[in-house]
Amino acid sequence: MICLRNKPVAIRLSVMAPLAAILTAWGGMMPPLELKATPDPMMGAVQAEICEQGLADKDAWPEVSPRATESFQIPAFGLDTLPQKYVDDGVRGTRPSPSLLRLKATVTLPAGNHRFLIRSRSAARLSMDGKVIAETPFPPKNGGDGSQAGSEILTPLDLGKGYRFAPAGEYEKIEDVAIEAGAHAFTFEVFVGGREGNKPRRVELGETVVALSSEGQAGWELLSPSGKGASYSDAGWEAYRSQVESTLAQRNASTRAALREKQAEIWKKRRDVAAQWLASTPETKVPALPEGLTATSPIDHFLAAKLLEIKAQNSHSAPNAVDFFRDVRPLLESRCLDCHRGNKAKGGLQLDTLANALRGGDSGPAIVPGQTETSEVIHRITTNDADEIMPPKGKPLTTEESAILTHWIQEGASWPELPLVREEVTPPVEDLAFLRRVTLDTIGLIPTVDEARSFLADASSDKRARLIDRLLGDDRWADHWISLWLDVLAENPNILNPTLNNTGPFRWWLQEALLDDLPMDRMVTQLLLQRGGDREGGPAGFGQASQNDSPFAAKGTVISAAFLGVDMKCARCHDSPSGSAKQEQLFQLGALLASKPLEVPKTSSVDPVKLHAGGRKPLIEVTLMPGTTVQPEWPFQEFADPSVVASLTAHPGDHRERLAALITAPQNERFAQVIANRIWQRLMGRGIVDPVDNWEKGTPSHPELLRWLGRELVRNGYQVKPLARLILTSQAYQRSVDPTLRQTDPLHTAPEPRRLSAEQVVDSLFAATGKPFRVEPVCLDLNGRRDTGNSLDLGRPHRSWMLASLSNERDRPSLMLPRLQAVADVLSALGWRGSRQDPLSVRDLAPNALQPAILANGSMSGWLTRLSDDNGLTELALKAPTVDDLIDSLYLRLLTRQPSEAEKERTSGYLREGFDTRKVEHPPKPEVPHVAPAFVTWTNHLLPQSNTAKEKLAEAARKGDPPTTKLEPDWRQRCEDVIWALINSPEMLYRP
Amino acid sequence: MKPSLARRHFLKMALAAGALPGAPRSLRAAALPPARLGKAEHCIFIWLGGGMAQVDTFDPKTMGNTKAKPFLAGSYYQAIDTSVPGIKVTEHLARTARLMEHVTVVRTVNHRVVDEHAFATNLVHTGRMISGNVVYPSIGSIVAQQRGAANPEVPAYMLIGLPNVSRGPGFLGAQHGFVYLVDTNSGPAGFTRPEDVGPDRAARRLSLLEPLQNRFPADSIPSDYRAAQTEALRLAGPDFMRHFQLGTEPGSLRQRYGGEFGQRCLLARRLVQSGVRFIEVSHNLNFINGTGWDTHNAGQLQQHVLIKELDTALSALIEDLEKQRLLDKTLVVVATEFGRPAAFDSGGGRGHQGTAFSLVLAGGGLKHSGAYGVTDELSKTALENPVSIPDFHATIHAAMGIDPHTELLDGSRPVPITDGGVPIASLLA
């Protein structure tokens, strides 16, 4: 008996000899075999078939071999991911669980006593010429939630050095089979998914493999009809699987495209409607360029015109006078505007513009320039009448604060539309800084050294435009821009027992929509229709909100803010006290999303007794009683008239189709403008309307530009990239930073130093050092034994956005994911959220001590700084011809700039000593221990040894990889110190 | 200053301000009696993840029997007398039993969230049900935000345990989050230098960093970051890190605290002394009994080992705090996500129960009485003085001198510090 993974399984040997003896006998005694391709119609490929039908909901092989519902080809008997299932308009769908995977090929083998290895997550059987030669069993039932199953064996089979250990939770089986020379038909059938109780398991493959160790050969290779079976070693498998992965990605993309093609007609019709609408509505004229100025994008015309206008407005105020934007505006913002803004301003008074303040409210003009006695504002902030004092809640204004307002009114209440932060624009940003900026803004990474050098060397005048085009065509655009939508749409999957307002992992749908450049109207339509697999990454997952008392009301607040700039958060429980959103409107919207009437739960209201307890008229109103049933109805007539629906969708009777059409209709100018404003905000630092998710609170700084951008988006078929190109090519985008600015100048005379996002920092650091992004899979159910509702596998991340909440509310060491935690610690400190329970449009980027701390001393920084063998900087340090050259490369790689003379001098002083002797002559080869990785998953996490194993992994993650032996330790450490300083330089965190 | 026209108003303002010295005029303030506030300066919040069985610990009932068929519901251990007459705990809490005059077991805590640990853990930490609109802050973050650190040189909120969103700052923002360490050997993440970076090397690194920090003008955004960086690097230095050197404590005291969990409690006491305001200590060690406090099925069999470990550490902490004259100003809380029923499951263990369970308060200058609230004969429901999770939170706030009527701000939106919780008045008398 040999103990195989999961339970003791006897290896049946055709020749009954001790295993050790067989291994010795195979020690290279015979010449290597040649596996010849067969003259089969499938010519050198393995036919892979997925069977979705014909399987019972139980763990048993069907009597009749099921018919294939889908087939494709792969090079060998090895597969760890199924092609995605797509439904509807090309969104991810759900396969039945269980499904069956069948791999078939004819392979010509020489005569001999060959050894076969099969691996699978669930039951599998390999047959040759119709006879079963190897089998793995069905997994046992967990019972309950599976945490008590607890008897999984931790150590996989070990056949010595070079033998690839089975990955976590795989069954494996080895059989020796005596074979005659010639062609043999092999069929490998594998169960995928299955049932846990009456619930489905995830339809995911483990490492599904048939490997062969032919007589006379020591190693393993994947069984392959082509005769070129990949080596089944760790490296061989990695290479093979990434090749298959990219083939499958292409296949997935064409499947999506084909499904979308089926809907081409309606979308062509919609483009026609948009074109008609554009033609029938007045264009926004691009202003003429003021004399003496140049432009590289129409955007520059709009900005230049506005700058002139504001200059004129600001030219009147006297020196030493109260400055509206410095002194008055912050006061109004913090103390007045919450109530005195928008359609529902209290007392009919809006204090958001001079005109509104002069007009005043129910009590007369709020401000009379030059006359404090008759200015109602001054009376209200200074009275001691509790019924009249403003603000009605919180501390009254201080004497200093009232003095500011008083003086300001005395001086004539100068209220320019926008502050004039700078008189003149800054010069264009220099090449390297531009390269770094635009690369970060498009693909979320800093440029490579090669990119930097070739951009510098390029003397052509259109090199920036060409760079922008290249970056817009880069697939990694999706990796950067997805973060925006994950935040805004509150994507919030929990990998374990979702109960914290969790959604499905619709990140995968978002990623594909971005990869495919899906037009925004179509992407939003897909989201709102909520089709596909909720647990598989389809937009259906958006509709989930675990343990929320009214999920669709919650989703209503998400989409109104995301796509219409309407903040309805307050309306979740009561009418908005400051905005115009009514609770009924939110529930109407929610009912459209739900496709059915919604009842208002008691827990989504405010108890009237509590409400009126204070005496003074309560600030909030409840006009919708709990228990009321609200019908699906479009609550935003002001944005789009319901009559537009008929021409935009084939199913105007469907509530969700109707909602999608009304939000994304070209006639709904608000939608295109909100999207354009969000893109603008991401690239320019501040929305033309700010805040981007609550337009009632903001006045557009450039209303004509906003309207023009919205129309450009419509004109370009709602494609985001042409809009981004307009912005990126503008002079406004390409100005150099004014380091003294503390916030974005709404006139865009210069960008401020802008903190990079958490993802940009982390991804750039990994990319720049070349250290592999090596973390655990985002999964606590590695062997897929739990049901789909209670566990997710979010895969092995290679970019920061792919992380999620690590879901260890149980506080158990055995459920730690230490390497992911180390990365998540950095991301969280910098403003990323693993748990996105609510939507967020703009992150808090204020500095705090945790950020530099985790970058200085956290585990992740340790990995990046340490010159280990797999750190890209190690090779750089080994190959650099001179100290100066090394320093140049390090600066270019990490900071995308040349070091100054002083920096060069200082750094080379630190590294010069010992540079010539830094290489170790005959470095000891690092020992790669052949130790099975610990297998800790949900079903064994309560075992004490699972805790111990995870604690060891945590310790290893903290320590990081050992340093290379190729560099002298003393010099290596000094080089690491230089790298540490560059990584920790504030410059690393700010957009140039 | 040109005050001529506004003078009348300034005088009025002064009066108005005098009438309401700093008190926020809350929406509901008039309806609620002013809360009595305690004087505790620090809080040590011990977390027993999994759901501590109150009938086997702090709310003993008549003995059950898993040998009988069917199983007989009841406590798994004998009850013993404590230093407070009439108040009993189970036999494995013998050391804490002698200190019950410093303790109040709140036996009637209740909520309805019992299906999932994460959900209940979130509720007990934030005092709120989840919402799709707001991420509520944990009690540690609220106390940290309201009171700041007692010593500005140290963090306000520290966690000895694993990070998760329930322990996080929610809408209060990252600056009110925790600094964490997973165990007493590893040191706080971000402030513990890698092993191969000693003081000399750290100093060399700093001298390389300095010119890179100076590339931005003063009073710029990056210079704010630089200031945070200076602070972070100072915290990684010996002044702060010495608090983690448990080796400087007498060996006998370390022994008295017991194993790793005890050492965490000892570290918590040291952090109190350093000025940290709120310390959450997690009891998440290797599951001696297979399940930790989540004692389903066979997890019941070795539960007494866990209880004894808690007893050793908790009693040592109370005694030590008292000896150091810190007990009156340090509120010790023992919390868990829910309780467990007196009835046994089919495997002889216990399921989850939220209708009544025990959370423990000690020290903190409260008027202790051993226990508060009375449950029925099987501790299934509250008979007297039920305490909701918001009430329990309000009690902690009040004990810490934080007005339980305070409103926090989520952006510009006021959010009451608890969901209508009322402090337990008798504790604050």
Residue B401 confidence (pLDDT) above 90: yes
Residue A47 confidence (pLDDT) above 90: yes
Average pLDDT over residues A315-327: 77
Q: Among B126, B219, B286, pick the best mutation site for testing chain A contact (most A Cβ within 10 A).
A: B286
Q: What is the pLDDT of residues A838-888, one digit of tens each?
A: 999 999 999 999 999 999 999 999 999 999 999 999 999 999 999 999 999
Residue A34 confidence (pLDDT) above 50: no
- In terms of Cα–Cα distance, which of B218, B219, B229, B179 is closest to A980? B229
d(CA A838, CA A856): 30
Q: What is the pLDDT of residue A317?
A: 62
Q: What is the pLDDT of residue A152?
A: 61
d(CA A222, CA A103): 13
Q: What is the pLDDT of residue A20?
A: 35
Q: Tokens for B193?
A: 């230098």
Cis (ω within 30 of 0) for the bond into A200?
no
Residue B6 confidence (pLDDT) above 50: no
A760-774 core/surface letters (b: 16 or more CB in 10 A; e: else): bbbbbbbbbbbbebe
Query: Between B157 and B11, whose confidence is greater?
Result: B157
Average pLDDT over residues A61-73: 93
Q: What is the pLDDT of residue B133?
A: 86
Q: What is the pLDDT of residues A766-778, one digit of tens each?
A: 999 999 999 999 9
d(CA B403, CA B414): 15
d(CA A601, CA B86): 44
Q: What is the pLDDT of residues A429-452, one digit of tens each?
A: 999 999 999 999 999 999 999 999
- C-beta neighbour count of A331 within 10 angstroms: 17
Q: What is the pLDDT of residue B261?
A: 96
Determine the distance in angstroms separating the CA of B197 from the nearest CA of chain A, rounded to an integer: 9
Average pLDDT over residues A558-572: 95
Local confidence band at A614 (pLDDT 50, 70, 90 cut-offs): low
Average pLDDT over residues B206-224: 94
Q: What is the pLDDT of residues A676-713, one digit of tens each?
A: 999 999 999 999 999 999 999 888 999 999 999 999 99
CB contact under 8 A, B162 and A987: no
d(CA B112, CA B299): 23
Average pLDDT over residues B337-364: 97
Say which CATH topology domain B39-192+238-428 has. Alkaline Phosphatase, subunit A (3.40.720)
Residue A15 confidence (pLDDT) above 80: no
Average pLDDT over residues A468-493: 98
Query: Between B78 and B15, whose confidence is greater?
Result: B78
Closest Cα in chain B to A396:
B17
What mean pLDDT is reported for chain A?
Answer: 91
CB contact under 8 A, A849 and B228: yes
DSSP string for residues in A640-668: --GGGGGGT-S-TTSHHHHHHHHHH-TT-
Q: What is the pLDDT of residue B30?
A: 42
Query: Between A548 and A580, whose confidence is greater?
Result: A548
Q: What is the pLDDT of residue B319?
A: 98
User: Cα A709 from chain centroid?
Assistant: 26
Backbone φ/ψ region at A370: left (φ over 0), alpha (ψ -120 to 50), beta: left
Local confidence band at A153 (pLDDT 50, 70, 90 cut-offs): low
Local confidence band at A151 (pLDDT 50, 70, 90 cut-offs): low
Q: Among A810, A851, A906, pick the best mutation site for testing chain B contact (most B Cβ within 10 A).
A: A810
Lowest mean pLDDT across A310-324, A485-499, A571-585: A310-324
- In terms of Cα–Cα distance, which of B324, B249, B319, B259 is closest to B285? B259
Q: Judge residue A268's burial from the number of C-beta atoms within 10 Å of its C-beta, 0-12 exposed, 13-18 middle, 19 or more buried.
A: exposed
- Structural domains in chain A plus CATH codes: 2-27+37-139+157-259 (2.60.120.260), 318-410 (no CATH), 758-991 (no CATH)
Residues 158-177, chain B: which have Cβ within 8 Å of A?
A: 161-166, 168, 173-175, 177
Q: What is the pLDDT of residue B33?
A: 59
Question: Which residue among B15, B162, B420 sits closest to A811, beta carbon to beta carbon?
Answer: B162
d(CA B160, CA A350): 50
The amino acid at residue A469 is D
DSSP element (H, E) containing A380: helix A376-382
Q: Among A341, A497, A811, pick the best mutation site for testing chain B contact (most B Cβ within 10 A).
A: A811
CB contact under 8 A, A378 and B9: yes
Average pLDDT over residues B159-179: 93
Task: Express as a percent the part of chain A with pLDDT over 90.
Answer: 72
Q: Is A400 on the interface with B (CB under 8 A)?
A: no
Q: How large is the greatest C-alpha to C-alpha distance in chain A, in angstroms?
A: 109
CB contact under 8 A, A852 and B232: yes
Q: Tokens for A459?
A: 């003397």
Residues of A in contact with B16 (CB under 8 A): 384, 389, 396
ipTM of this predicted structure:
0.89
Q: Domain residue spans in chain B?
A: 39-192+238-428, 198-235
Question: Which residue among B9, B117, B288 sits closest to A809, beta carbon to beta carbon?
Answer: B117
Q: What is the pLDDT of residue A160?
A: 85
Q: What is the pLDDT of residue A313?
A: 83
Average pLDDT over residues B315-340: 98
What mean pLDDT is reported for chain B?
Answer: 90
Q: What is the pLDDT of residue A656?
A: 98
**DSSP letter assigned to residue A348:** G
Q: What is the pLDDT of residue B9?
A: 31
Q: Judge residue A916's burial from the number of C-beta atoms within 10 Å of its C-beta, 0-12 exposed, 13-18 middle, 19 or more buried.
A: exposed
Q: What is the pLDDT of residues A81-134, one digit of tens each?
A: 999 999 999 999 999 999 999 999 999 999 999 999 999 999 999 999 999 999
**DSSP letter assigned to residue A790:** G
Phi, psi of A938 (to 5 degrees): -50, -45
Local confidence band at A149 (pLDDT 50, 70, 90 cut-offs): low
3-state secondary structure of A133: strand
Average pLDDT over residues B60-74: 96
Local confidence band at A192 (pLDDT 50, 70, 90 cut-offs): very high
d(CA A221, CA B251): 58
The predicted model scores a pTM of 0.91
Q: What is the pLDDT of residue A607?
A: 81
Task: Express as a percent the part of chain B with pLDDT over 90.
Answer: 82
3-state secondary structure of A36: strand
Question: Which residue among A545, A833, A981 sits closest to B212, beta carbon to beta carbon?
Answer: A981
Q: What is the pLDDT of residues A446-471, one digit of tens each?
A: 999 999 999 999 999 999 999 999 99
Local confidence band at A606 (pLDDT 50, 70, 90 cut-offs): confident
Give A968's strand partners.
none
Q: H helices of A858-900, where? A: 859-865, 872-879, 883-895
Residue A629 confidence (pLDDT) above 60: yes
Query: Between B13 and A118, whose confidence is greater?
Result: A118
What lies within 8 Å, CB to CB, of A205 at 6+ separation is: A79, A80, A81, A82, A101, A120, A121, A190, A192
DSSP string for residues in A44-66: T-EEEEEE-SS--SSSS--SSPP
Local confidence band at A763 (pLDDT 50, 70, 90 cut-offs): very high
Q: What is the pLDDT of residue B185?
A: 85
Q: What is the pLDDT of residue B23?
A: 32
Q: What is the pLDDT of residue A460?
A: 97
Determine the distance in angstroms separating the CA of B243 from the nearest CA of chain A, rounded to an integer: 17
Q: What is the pLDDT of residue A927?
A: 81
Q: Tokens for A751?
A: 């960008």
What lies within 8 Å, CB to CB, of B57 at 6+ separation is: B89, B90, B92, B93, B307, B310, B358
Cis (ω within 30 of 0) for the bond into A722?
no
> How many CA atoms lie less than 13 Å away from B111 in the CB half-sphere?
27
Average pLDDT over residues A535-545: 97
Residue A4 confidence (pLDDT) above 90: no
Q: H helices of B236-371, where? A: 238-241, 251-257, 260-274, 303-323
Q: What is the pLDDT of residue A226?
A: 86
Local confidence band at B167 (pLDDT 50, 70, 90 cut-offs): very high
Residue A19 confidence (pLDDT) above 80: no
CB contact under 8 A, B217 and A740: yes
Local confidence band at A2 (pLDDT 50, 70, 90 cut-offs): very low
Lowest mean pLDDT across A336-350, A549-563, A718-732: A336-350
Residues of B in contact with A372 (CB under 8 A): 5-6
- C-beta neighbour count of A693 within 10 angstroms: 28
DSSP element (H, E) containing A553: helix A551-564
Residue A954 confidence (pLDDT) above 70: yes
Q: What is the pLDDT of residue A16?
A: 30
3-state secondary structure of A805: strand
Q: What is the pLDDT of residues A638-666, one digit of tens each?
A: 999 999 999 999 899 999 999 999 999 99
Average pLDDT over residues B302-322: 97
d(CA B157, CA B138): 11
Residue A6 confidence (pLDDT) above 50: no
Local confidence band at B315 (pLDDT 50, 70, 90 cut-offs): very high
Residue A276 confidence (pLDDT) above 60: yes
- In terms of Cα–Cα distance, which of A118, A140, A95, A237 is closest to A187? A118
Q: What is the pLDDT of residues A231-274, one digit of tens each?
A: 999 999 999 999 999 999 999 999 999 999 999 999 999 999 99
Determine the distance in angstroms separating the CA of A891 from the nearest CA of chain B, rounded to an integer: 11
Local confidence band at A943 (pLDDT 50, 70, 90 cut-offs): confident
